[in-house]
Amino acid sequence: MMGNSIELSEDNGSRFCGKTIPEEIVIHIFLYVPVKDLIRSATHVCKYWHHLLTQYHFWFTRMQVEGYKLSETTKQRLLEETNETLVLRALQSVCGNYLHLNKNLILNPSGIDGFQHWMVRHGGDKMIVEDTPTGSDLIPEEAGLPTQHCFVTSYIASSRCQVVNLEHLGLDPCVIDILRPEIHISEWVSARWDCHSKSTIAVLLKGADDTQQVDITWNSRTDDVICRQWYKATAD
Ligand SMILES: *[C@@H]1O[C@H](CO)[C@@H](O)[C@H](O)[C@H]1NC(C)=O
């Protein structure tokens, strides 16, 4: 972190039209400047602005303005980290929404683009995509899908597989390690009115030195399932 003794001179970014602008005001303005402009431009303008923009406090406040909330454990982990560059990068990534947080990381999740982005193994009469479910109700709004498309399997199991590479999405592994964002896994499933259905979601979470597997199974023969209806199969 830079020292506190920043000299106020004519051109140090705290003066505007000959008047000195109080620090709180400069910070307040920064709270509403797009994050990418703060990182790419503002921080290079002068030492004073750089100093303001390398304070953790500024980024924590910015996070509040953006409506993001870190858990106490994450906050603690950030405050205990000695690599300040890493902490700043993590905070800026959250503020600038560079982390694909609160987003579905699965591409073409319901088949609007056919089988694009999926590796498919067909069984029986093959897996197909329907643009509206046949023999099942409409997919509920709660599923958050922009369309009624859905993948439909046949009388023998089919499978589809997709690899999500966080690094290819532009996520710095160090930032992911320190923030440890939660990963939620779920799928909306249904059995049509005239036959039963089973589904298994198998997720392999591959880290640099550790792999974890999560399996979620759903079976319409189990008691509570009503055919035609949609269910959210989830790990929680
Ligand atoms: C601090 O973190 C940055 C950003 O992740 C990284 O590039 C750098 O190597 C780290 N420095 C140390 C001393 O570990």
Find the range with the poorest average confidence among 12-16, 111-115, 136-140, 189-193. 12-16
Q: What is the pLDDT of residue 3?
A: 46
Contact 32, 19 (CB under 8 A): no
- 84 CB less than 6 Å from ligand 1? no
On the question of pLDDT at 5 being above 70, the answer is no
Q: Tokens representing 139?
A: 């997919």
Nearest CA to ligand 1 atom 12: 83
pLDDT band at 1 (very low <50, low <70, confident <90, very high): very low
Find the range with the poorest average confidence among 55-59, 152-156, 214-218, 223-227. 223-227
Between CA 226 and CA 190 the distance in angstroms is: 9
Please give the domain boundaries of the chain with CATH numbers for all domains: 15-95 (1.20.1280.50), 119-234 (no CATH)
- 85 CB less than 6 Å from ligand 1? yes
HEC states along 224-236? CCCCCCEEEEECC
Could you tell me the distance, in angstroms and rounded to a whole number, from the CA of residue 85 to the centre of ligand 1? 6
One-character DSSP codes across 63-127:
HHHHT----HHHHHHHHH-S-HHHHHHHHHHHHTTTT-TTS--SSSTTSTTTTTT-EEE--TT--
- 20 CB less than 6 Å from ligand 1? no
Could you tell me the distance, in angstroms and rounded to a whole number, from the CA of residue 176 to the centre of ligand 1? 13
Cα 226–Cα 148–Cα 222 angle in degrees, nearest 5? 20
* Average pLDDT over every residue of 57-68: 93
Q: What is the pLDDT of residue 11?
A: 58
- 183: amino acid identity, one letter: I
Q: What is the pLDDT of residue 216?
A: 94
Q: Read off the pTM.
A: 0.77
On the question of pLDDT at 236 being above 80, the answer is no
Q: How far apart are the first and last CA of the chain?
A: 41
Kindly state the percentage of the chain with pLDDT values over 70: 94
- 27 CB less than 6 Å from ligand 1? no
On the question of pLDDT at 73 being above 60, the answer is yes
Quote the crossing angle between the two packed helices 56-66 and 72-80, to the nearest 10°.
160
Q: Tokens representing 151?
A: 């993948």
Q: Tokens representing 157?
A: 């199991």
Q: Tokens representing 118?
A: 């999926």
Greatest alpha-carbon pair distance for the chain in Å reads: 79
pLDDT band at 14 (very low <50, low <70, confident <90, very high): confident
Mean pLDDT across the chain: 89
* Average pLDDT over every residue of 50-56: 94
Could you tell me the distance, in angstroms and rounded to a whole number, from the CA of residue 28 to the centre of ligand 1? 29
- From the number of C-beta atoms within 10 Å of its C-beta (0-12, 13-18, 19+), residue 47 rates as middle
Residue 148 per-residue DSSP state: -
The pLDDT tens digits for 75-114 are 999 999 999 999 999 999 999 888 888 888 999 999 999 9
Contact 137, 190 (CB under 8 A): yes
Between CA 8 and CA 48 the distance in angstroms is: 8
On the question of pLDDT at 187 being above 90, the answer is yes
